[in-house]
Structure 1
């Protein structure tokens, strides 16, 4: 009874306080009472080191560098998978790949059939309708939901919890010459000829925020940039042609795309500020997977998009939540895009919650910088993904970025297991971030420990393992194809 009485007194005290304050002060009080708006920016194929605040001296990202100073930067952040469809499926579902079956961009039998020893597991193209998505959960928490850009986990975001959509469908890239209007993607009207897609998507998001500033909203901003085709604005391309590159970062077209993306992130953040929404908006900035090695190097990380070496799965991450995250802080904690769903679910307090989630709630970390309980990360890829550019991917072999296998990261240790030949690779990321020296032979106990963990996890998640031999496999053909001509 006392508790109810206390709540009534608090309620009327707040009403009285509102009556005594200015309009600006009342707005600030209201922001402390309502749930925060959420802006989730998910850039396509942006590498871990393709930003100024992550150490690049070639790419120019002043707006994101400023955001990094205002929020918390995570240097050990991972995507749920090494390429776009499975990573986005993990983010939107909160489930690891064996639970939703999206392992790659279909089909799963990529590469020449004579070079694949196994019949890969059949891929699931999109999230099944039965999966309770992140936007659906947020709607249950009172949020108006929106998507501006690449959806890729279903043909129509409206059927998966999105109230307002521009440009999102099952398509994974903007198509040939697709960064300039007239466009090739769905759910968007053509703009003036030559309009840049990244600009257009941001303008649509800004209009949405202005219209819904008095509500509680979720803006999902999955830019098609910086995915291929590599197309930047001419003026920016010319600018970067005159700038000296560094350590495999020297592509002027790509740099122009990064610069446009950064400019538009700045425009989005400035809208939040000018509309008085900044203080009560949680902003997450990340990438869906690593960058393409042949376009931009992520040294010291090995390989890139499509590989389960660090260059393919480690991604940039900033979280800014005023009065919650401490500005200009860096976290060394291992986190994953699987963690976004449980974190936002705690904040949204929905009527209906997800029954199963594979990530962890990061609220204690982003609110008080308190370390979360250490856990292992698992990756499962029972399919094939061919080389992006033979001999340039820094992969295990020149024909594939990834062959079927699983990976576990446990503390400083990382183990790769391959299904074709049963081989394992063991690295200590603390001393060998570039995964250059396989130390499996000298650490048999650690190998067995991690293999046992992997096997238990695969059993718990019903992860399928390909075992059927491919009758078309030809060793001599494979060996001939593997030769790299100088």
Structure 2
């Protein structure tokens, strides 16, 4: 009885905090777990016969399972852009996966958009990113420059699970695993390494006595399909065995994380959100009973497993069957983080889901209605043709090529597999929903960046005055840069100098060795004086509003 009374007091304070009243003291820790290409049917709790996922399943039974939960898009990059921005991917031009590009600042989640980790950081959280990023490669797009205090993972869209670096044949370049700005060696199996990093960050935040927001983006079960031998179930058919084994590794990670939270006494202070970035892939995932796979606007490309667990606050074994979207995660966490009303992100389009979820000690949720009158997807491609979906209650309108191909209408309650097109049976409903989708689509914009890298228009030459590559401590050495843009823009100069071991960090932020002085760092020429002997790299960066380019020269400072 006393426990129920105390819970009611906490919940009353929490709901007051979400309105004009004063906030309660505690803020929940948040672990947001996002898998990559998991099938809708690929968990035991989702009905799978061959996937054993007891620890992930327990996340669902310990809280609420959203049966009609949708990702913002049907493939990786735009979906994550929607999750982090809290708005429709096509509202911000994030229509494509960001190609690998260190020079073009438009390639990735737009830099002028406030994103979830920045908001959580403002609210006093320690923020950590583990795993797959896939939201841009430039220095400004790096997770540590977009609101995260710590980062362990990779920047691109996929990773070989047992390697620390991967050669990119197309670009004749390497991709790397990073800790912060530094490259990491010694990767064992990425899924297990990501779990290790997650636990390490939780431990660090606990020592700092600050609430934490942990984004744990496992790349499993995305290709390349590489399971540990010990995770393989030999009774599973060949076309599924690797895929299922990779899920087993994630399930082990979930068990370890929850066990650690229990060990340090943070179970009831931690909200865990578990989901997937888009529908399962066609090479082994199971999306039954949904139609199609990743990269499709059918529900098999958009609807995802999604659970929310907060022991002691959220009541157990709930099933929520109204349509919800990952765009609801940002406003939900913004409220739980008690961000002041005048400092909240005004661009969010989702809703706070907590009032729709039954709490411990409640007979019913605070709000028993539908979170959304409709949810929508899609927008214009680089050819100006719009595609997308409108989901309204049980009805789904599929717009394949607006103005070119007639739309299709499905009743997902009666026909979850989208087998029977009802557009001809309900022409008035079809026309109305199409008009609603077009009205919604008016605010979407064409892609900000292309599928492929654009050529860099910047040109840069770097020279050492009098070809002098050596100097002694206390004697300046001079450098001259000549930069230009074929697009006619003026360029800005930024100089760095550092020891060779810091070259990886210099790729992502300004690095200047302590004690080194110069005549300036923002002109086309510079004189640098080193107090100590050693090898150094001098780098000049040139930059316009969109483009970045740099060049290096190595010098020697001798004591002779």
The alignment partner of 2:432 has SS state of: helix
- 1:448 equivalent to 2:448? Answer no
- 1:153 equivalent to 2:139? Answer no
* 8 Å CA contact 2:38, 2:285 repeated in 1: no
The correspondence for 1:105, drawn from 82, 87, 97, is 97
The alignment partner of 2:178 has SS state of: coil
- Partner of 2:203 in structure 1? 210
Q: Relative CO higher for 1 or 2, CA cutoff 8 Å, sep ≥ 6?
A: 1
The alignment partner of 1:266 has SS state of: helix
Distance 2:397 2:372 in 1: 17
Q: Which moved more, 1:432-441 or 1:376-385?
A: 376-385
User: For residues 218-277 of structure 1, what are the alpha-carbon distances to aligned partners after superposition, in whole Å with 9 as ceiling and x for unaligned?
Assistant: 01000111111010001222xx2224x5xxx95101111010011111111111111101
- Partner of 1:133 in structure 2? 115
Matches within 5 A, 1:325-404: 325-351=314-340, 352-368=343-359, 369=365, 370-371=367-368, 372-383=370-381, 404=386
The correspondence for 1:182, drawn from 164, 189, 195, is 164
Distance 1:75 1:44 in 2: 18
* 8 Å CA contact 1:250, 1:296 repeated in 2: no
Tell me the TM-score normalised to structure 1 length.
0.76
The correspondence for 1:437, drawn from 412, 420, 443, is 420
- Partner of 2:410 in structure 1? 427
Alpha-carbon deviation of 1:104? 2.2
Distance 1:187 1:135 in 2: 19
Distance 2:283 2:350 in 1: 31
* 8 Å CA contact 2:72, 2:327 repeated in 1: yes
* 8 Å CA contact 1:384, 1:404 repeated in 2: no
The correspondence for 1:234, drawn from 221, 229, 234, is 229
Tell me the TM-score normalised to structure 2 length.
0.67
User: For residues 178-230 of structure 1, what are the alpha-carbon distances to aligned partners after superposition, in whole Å with 9 as ceiling and x for unaligned?
Assistant: 1003343331454546x100101110111111121121100100011111101
Distance 2:67 2:202 in 1: 30
- Partner of 2:252 in structure 1? 263
Alpha-carbon deviation of 1:463? 4.1
Alpha-carbon deviation of 1:147? 0.3
Larger CA Rg, structure 1 vs 2: 2
Distance 1:287 1:219 in 2: 16
* 8 Å CA contact 1:279, 1:323 repeated in 2: yes
Distance 2:129 2:308 in 1: 19
Matches within 5 A, 1:25-64: 33-64=25-56
The correspondence for 1:412, drawn from 383, 394, 416, is 394
The correspondence for 1:251, drawn from 235, 240, 258, is 240
- 1:457 equivalent to 2:440? Answer yes
User: For residues 337-395 of structure 1, what are the alpha-carbon distances to aligned partners after superposition, in whole Å with 9 as ceiling and x for unaligned?
Assistant: 0000000011112242101111111110135433344421111143389xxxxxxxxxx
Aligned length: 391
Alpha-carbon deviation of 1:406? 1.8
User: For residues 82-127 of structure 1, what are the alpha-carbon distances to aligned partners after superposition, in whole Å with 9 as ceiling and x for unaligned?
Assistant: 00001000000001022211112257xxxxxxxxxxxxxxxx6411
* 8 Å CA contact 1:157, 1:168 repeated in 2: no
- Partner of 1:296 in structure 2? 285
Alpha-carbon deviation of 1:49? 1.1
Distance 1:46 1:241 in 2: 20
The correspondence for 1:219, drawn from 197, 209, 214, is 214
Alpha-carbon deviation of 1:315? 0.2
| Closer/same/farther in 2, CA of residues 57 and 191 from structure 1, 3 Å limit | farther
Higher helix fraction: Structure 1 or Structure 2?
1
* 8 Å CA contact 1:94, 1:340 repeated in 2: yes
The alignment partner of 1:241 has SS state of: coil
Alpha-carbon deviation of 1:420? 6.5
Q: Which runs of 5+ in 1 are unaligned?
A: 1-9, 11-31, 108-123, 386-402, 466-486
Distance 2:107 2:240 in 1: 32
Q: Which runs of 5+ in 2 are unaligned?
A: 1-8, 10-23, 100-105, 167-175, 360-364, 448-560
Distance 2:146 2:211 in 1: 19
Higher strand fraction: Structure 1 or Structure 2?
2
The correspondence for 2:68, drawn from 76, 79, 82, is 76
